[in-house]
């Protein structure tokens, strides 16, 4: 009992004069190395981790050294723990031994695409989508060749699902001769290729990202034959959080059947009607969307960043510049505010290139930059202004001043307000500053703390910020690597791709509901006991049916949910094809969410269900598989977490029995402070996530890395402690801590 007395007095007594380093050298270094680096054929793993001093002291007192467990006990164990924790064991000690420096990073592939799109968009203006969902429909009766002679009605339709034989609500509409025109915008939730499909027996033209309908329609089914139902599909690459205009022209003339529905198949989704939540009545301008494929970005540190330079990447940035230049030249006179026959067109094209460089570099080009990227190019081209413009744009889009945002410095190499604006846009939007932000810089309106705070909160309301948070949560939950969620159809009938797609949408809506609420409370991610369900999910999971055909936040029959821990999509992602996986669930939740340090297994053992008796439960199998003492060093943490979720099967349905045996979810769990607590189910996991300092810090670390793309230790060893205090003092407000992270990483003068 003497050790416990020493530990209890640790916070009030001064450090003893006894030398922990000397004790370590005498009893520990022969196995662990003089700096904890490990010794071959003894203990070859580095002595690093996240245990507290008190926890380390208990462990040393109980087990070390292995050949004489009583040699280092009580006060000696405490002093050794203090020494190794400060010298090399803790993350802070490791950061001192191997200082982490900020890396020179290029734009990631996502940042590269978005930056180009937003630069071009800045010449057209970026519309606000407002809050009204749906498309504005204009209804006409058709007379001969005139499709829109007299407007009968103008209204907002939540979706495109018209049928003349249903209750369409348009008084006086001629059932055999009418036309409808819908217009508005579509705001895709994620980046990728979307499939669109129309179903109609009539004439239809669909324009997406073509605001004036002057070019060929995206889907052209204007000529119909025999009034027969047909479906026509077409793909389109869209950028998450970036609205594009949509317009639909529909006509029925002397035909018995008249109907139209518009479906889409988003990335990671299945065919469904285009939902009202992504449609907006406000129109947007055309977007220059870059579909050039890029190689994957480096994610070796646990988060994506633009650190790798390869031949494939160099080819990609060149091809993207070529694609962007082509898109720009489709509308060059509009963007440059000129006409093909104007005598000063050459000068306006040259000025356009200067403005383009200004926006791409996020600051006015220096005299040397203007000479390199614009003046010399136009001087050598003579009267061939178009070729000069293309060359100038290509040089700008492949320039290091565009590719590497951290090069944004003044002529003295120091950061300034333009640097700050670039930092804001990159961290919150993955993009370049918009016109409002650049105007604020020009007027010196982002210099005081209040101005900075106001500008950041304004930027947080942009759809691009929400898209970036979506990608963070999918990365933090490790779902970006979980593409195959299919299950055995015999064991889980009805669990098809439509259910999987609905669950993904449900998860995104749940996250949005927490993050973008007024409270924005991190704790609600784990304490909410309801799930977003549409009619299909409600029926499958036996929940009350929503009042509408859309998603609603509803309780499940089991009433045992604990936010993200028990969302069916997460539970499904960390399960096998035929059964649950307590190990996968336990590893992910322990490491990413609860912030526990887990060493890689010394010998990875593959789980083979066929090796076990068929009447064993999954808990019994995992317990037997991991019973070895070497395994239990980590599985004493992993297993209790995984077992606590065994009431939920491989698709997230609640159950009480497995193999005709009652499911046991109770385990003793050893905390990071080396305290033993009882975990009985997901509510206890939620309590750990809500109350545990380690869980808070894990969330903050992952969020910081996603936003800033640098190690948190590059901003000082005390940065994490400071952020944790801010997080607690703002009632765990997610949006507020994002603003703090961005604000406190503004590049400072050396």
Query: Is position 471 within any domain?
Result: no
Beta strands in 19-98 (DSSP E): none
Query: Is position 295 within any domain?
Result: no
Given this model, what pLDDT does residue 218 score? Answer: 95
Given this model, what pLDDT does residue 7 score? Answer: 43
Counting the structural domains of the chain, the total is: 5
- Which residues partner with 247 through β-bridges? 183, 207
181's enclosing H/E stretch is strand 177-186
**Residue that terminates a domain, selected from 257, 280, 303:** 280
Query: Is position 305 within any domain?
Result: no
* Tokens describing residue 260: 């139209």
**Per-residue confidence band for 603, with pLDDT thresholds at 50, 70 and 90:** low
Residue 13 predicted with pLDDT over 60: no
Domain match, 502 and 642 both: yes
State which residues form the domain around 726: 697-743
Rounded (10°) CA dihedral 735, 740, 743, 747: -120
From residue 48, give the alpha-carbon distance in Å to each of 271, 590, 597, 676: 49, 18, 10, 22
Can you tell me the mean pLDDT for 116-142? 91
Q: Each residue of 632-645: pLDDT tens digit?
A: 878 889 999 999 99
Q: From 208, 149, 139, select the one nearest 179 (Cα to Cα).
A: 139
Domain match, 717 and 654 both: no
Can you tell me the mean pLDDT for 192-204? 97
Residue 12 predicted with pLDDT over 60: no
Higher pLDDT, 55 or 216: 216
Domain match, 704 and 665 both: no
User: Backbone dihedral region of 50: left (phi > 0), alpha (psi from -120 to 50 degrees) or beta?
Assistant: alpha
Residue 145 predicted with pLDDT over 70: no
**Per-residue confidence band for 11, with pLDDT thresholds at 50, 70 and 90:** very low
Given this model, what pLDDT does residue 4 score? Answer: 44
Task: Let me know if 602 is exposed, middle or buried by CB neighbors in 10 A (0-12, 13-18, 19+).
Answer: exposed
- Interaxial angle between packed helices 719-729 and 734-743, expressed in degrees from 0 to 180 and rounded to the nearest 10: 140
pTM of the model: 0.88
Query: Is position 357 within any domain?
Result: yes
Given this model, what pLDDT does residue 10 score? Answer: 41
Query: Is position 102 within any domain?
Result: no
Query: Is position 204 within any domain?
Result: yes
Q: What does DSSP say about strands 272-273 and 259-265: parallel, antiparallel, or unpaired? A: antiparallel
Can you tell me the mean pLDDT for 437-457? 89
Domain match, 685 and 701 both: no
The domain spanning residue 91 has which CATH number?
1.10.760.10
Q: Helix (H, G, I), strand (E, B), or coil: what is residue 163?
A: strand
From residue 137, give the alpha-carbon distance in Å to each of 174, 199, 291, 449: 16, 18, 31, 46
Given this model, what pLDDT does residue 507 score? Answer: 96
For residue 362, what are the contacts with CB-CB under 8 A and spacing of at least 6? 405, 408, 418, 421, 422, 425, 432, 433, 438
The proportion of the chain whose per-residue pLDDT surpasses 70, expressed as a percent, equals 96
Backbone angles phi, psi at 364, to 5 degrees: -60, 135
Query: Is position 78 within any domain?
Result: yes
Residue 6 predicted with pLDDT over 70: no
Handedness of CA 297, 298, 301, 302 (dihedral sign): positive
> Hunting for tokens 């003349």 — which residue is that?
164
Residue 655 predicted with pLDDT over 90: yes
**Per-residue confidence band for 14, with pLDDT thresholds at 50, 70 and 90:** very low
Domain match, 153 and 213 both: yes
Min mean pLDDT across 166-170, 178-182, 203-207 is at: 166-170
Given this model, what pLDDT does residue 44 score? Answer: 64
Min mean pLDDT across 80-94, 309-323, 339-353 is at: 80-94
From residue 537, give the alpha-carbon distance in Å to each of 532, 550, 553, 578: 9, 11, 12, 20
Q: Each residue of 694-728: pLDDT tens digit?
A: 999 999 999 999 999 998 888 887 899 999 999 99
Residue 677 predicted with pLDDT over 80: yes
Mean pLDDT rounded to a whole number for the chain: 90
Report yes or no: 292 and 323 within 8 Å, Cβ to Cβ. Answer: yes
**Residue that terminates a domain, selected from 691, 714, 733:** 691
**Residue that terminates a domain, selected from 420, 444, 460:** 460
Residue 97 predicted with pLDDT over 90: no
Residue 234 predicted with pLDDT over 90: yes
Domain match, 424 and 526 both: no
Domain match, 639 and 668 both: yes
Domain match, 182 and 72 both: no
Residue 77 predicted with pLDDT over 80: yes
Can you tell me the mean pLDDT for 227-248? 96
Domain match, 397 and 330 both: yes
Report yes or no: 525 and 698 within 8 Å, Cβ to Cβ. Answer: no
Query: Is position 468 within any domain?
Result: no
Residue 62 predicted with pLDDT over 90: no
Domain match, 421 and 368 both: yes
Domain match, 336 and 425 both: yes
Helices (H) and strands (E) in the chain, counts: 29, 18
Higher pLDDT, 95 or 471: 471
Given this model, what pLDDT does residue 750 score? Answer: 61
Given this model, what pLDDT does residue 602 score? Answer: 63
**Per-residue confidence band for 93, with pLDDT thresholds at 50, 70 and 90:** confident
Min mean pLDDT across 213-222, 284-293, 314-323 is at: 213-222
Domain match, 547 and 561 both: yes
Residue 523 predicted with pLDDT over 60: yes
**Per-residue confidence band for 18, with pLDDT thresholds at 50, 70 and 90:** low
The domain spanning residue 206 has which CATH number?
2.60.120.1560
* CA 490/CA 494 separation, integer angstroms: 9
């Amino acid at each position: 009992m003497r050790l416990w007395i020493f530990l209890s007095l640790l916070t009030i007594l001064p450090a003893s004069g006894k030398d922990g380093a000397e004790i370590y050298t005498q009893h520990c270094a022969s196995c662990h190395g003089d700096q904890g680096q490990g010794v071959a054929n003894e203990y070859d793993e580095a002595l690093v981790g996240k245990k507290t001093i008190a926890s380390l002291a208990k462990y040393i007192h109980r087990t070390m050294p292995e050949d004489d467990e009583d040699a280092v006990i009580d006060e000696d164990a405490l002093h050794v723990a203090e020494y190794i924790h400060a010298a090399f064991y803790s993350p802070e000690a490791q950061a001192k031994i191997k200082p982490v420096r900020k890396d020179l990073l290029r734009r990631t592939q996502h940042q590269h695409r978005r930056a180009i799109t937003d630069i071009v968009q800045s010449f057209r203006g970026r519309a606000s989508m407002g809050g009204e969902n749906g498309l504005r429909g204009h209804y006409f009766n058709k007379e001969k060749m005139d499709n829109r002679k007299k407007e009968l009605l103008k209204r907002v339709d939540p979706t495109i699902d018209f049928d003349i034989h249903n209750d369409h609500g348009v008084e006086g509409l001629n059932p055999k001769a009418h036309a409808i025109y819908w217009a508005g915008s579509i705001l895709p939730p994620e980046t990728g290729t979307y499939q669109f499909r129309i179903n109609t027996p009539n004439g239809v033209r669909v324009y997406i990202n073509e605001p004036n309908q002057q070019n060929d329609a995206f889907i052209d089914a204007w000529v119909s034959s025999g009034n027969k139902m047909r479906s026509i599909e077409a793909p389109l690459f869209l950028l998450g959080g970036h609205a594009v205009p949509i317009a639909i022209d529909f006509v029925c003339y002397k035909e018995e059947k008249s109907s139209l529905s518009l479906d889409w198949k988003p990335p990671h989704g299945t065919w469904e009607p285009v939902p009202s939540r992504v449609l907006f009545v406000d129109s947007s301008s055309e977007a220059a969307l870059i579909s050039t494929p890029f190689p994957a970005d480096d994610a070796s540190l646990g988060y994506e960043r633009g650190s790798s330079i390869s031949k494939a990447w160099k080819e990609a940035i060149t091809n993207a510049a070529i694609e962007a230049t082509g898109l720009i030249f489709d509308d060059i006179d509009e963007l440059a505010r000129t006409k093909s026959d104007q005598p000063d067109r050459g000068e306006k094209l040259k000025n356009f290139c200067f403005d383009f460089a200004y926006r791409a570099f996020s600051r006015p080009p220096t005299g040397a930059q203007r000479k390199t990227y614009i003046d010399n190019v136009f001087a050598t081209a003579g009267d061939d202004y178009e070729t000069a413009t293309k060359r100038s744009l290509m040089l700008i889009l492949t320039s290091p001043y565009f590719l590497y945002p951290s090069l944004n410095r003044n002529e003295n190499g120091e950061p300034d307000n333009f640097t700050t604006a670039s930092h804001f846009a990159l961290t919150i939007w993955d993009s370049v500053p918009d016109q409002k932000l650049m105007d604020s810089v020009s007027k010196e309106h982002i210099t005081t703390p209040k101005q900075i705070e106001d500008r950041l909160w304004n930027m947080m309301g942009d759809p691009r910020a929400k898209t970036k948070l979506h990608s963070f949560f999918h990365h933090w939950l490790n779902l970006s690597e979980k593409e195959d969620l299919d299950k055995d159809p015999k064991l889980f009938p009805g669990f098809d791709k439509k259910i999987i797609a609905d669950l993904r949408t449900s998860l995104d809506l749940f996250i949005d509901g927490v993050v973008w609420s007024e409270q924005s409370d991190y704790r609600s991610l784990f304490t909410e006991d309801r799930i977003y369900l549409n009619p299909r999910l409600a029926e499958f999971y036996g929940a009350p049916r929503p009042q509408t055909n859309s998603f609603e936040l509803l309780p499940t029959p089991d009433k045992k949910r604990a936010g993200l821990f028990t969302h069916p999509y997460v539970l499904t992602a960390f399960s096998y094809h035929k059964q649950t996986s307590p190990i996968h669930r336990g590893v992910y939740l322990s490491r990413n969410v609860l912030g526990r340090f887990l060493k890689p297994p010394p010998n990875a053992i593959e789980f083979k269900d066929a090796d076990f008796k068929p009447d064993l439960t999954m808990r019994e199998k995992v317990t037997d598989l991991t019973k070895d003492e070497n395994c239990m060093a980590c599985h004493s943490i992993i297993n209790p977490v995984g077992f606590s979720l065994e009431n939920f099967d491989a698709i997230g349905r609640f159950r009480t029995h497995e193999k005709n045996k009652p499911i046991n979810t109770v385990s003793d769990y050893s905390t990071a402070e080396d305290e033993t607590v009882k975990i009985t189910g997901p509510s206890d996991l939620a309590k750990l996530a809500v109350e545990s300092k380690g869980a808070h810090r894990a969330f903050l670390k992952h969020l910081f890395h996603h936003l800033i793309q640098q190690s948190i230790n590059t901003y000082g060893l005390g940065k994490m402690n400071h952020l944790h205090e801010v997080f607690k003092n703002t009632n765990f407000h997610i949006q507020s801590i994002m603003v703090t992270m961005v604000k406190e990483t503004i590049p400072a003068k050396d």
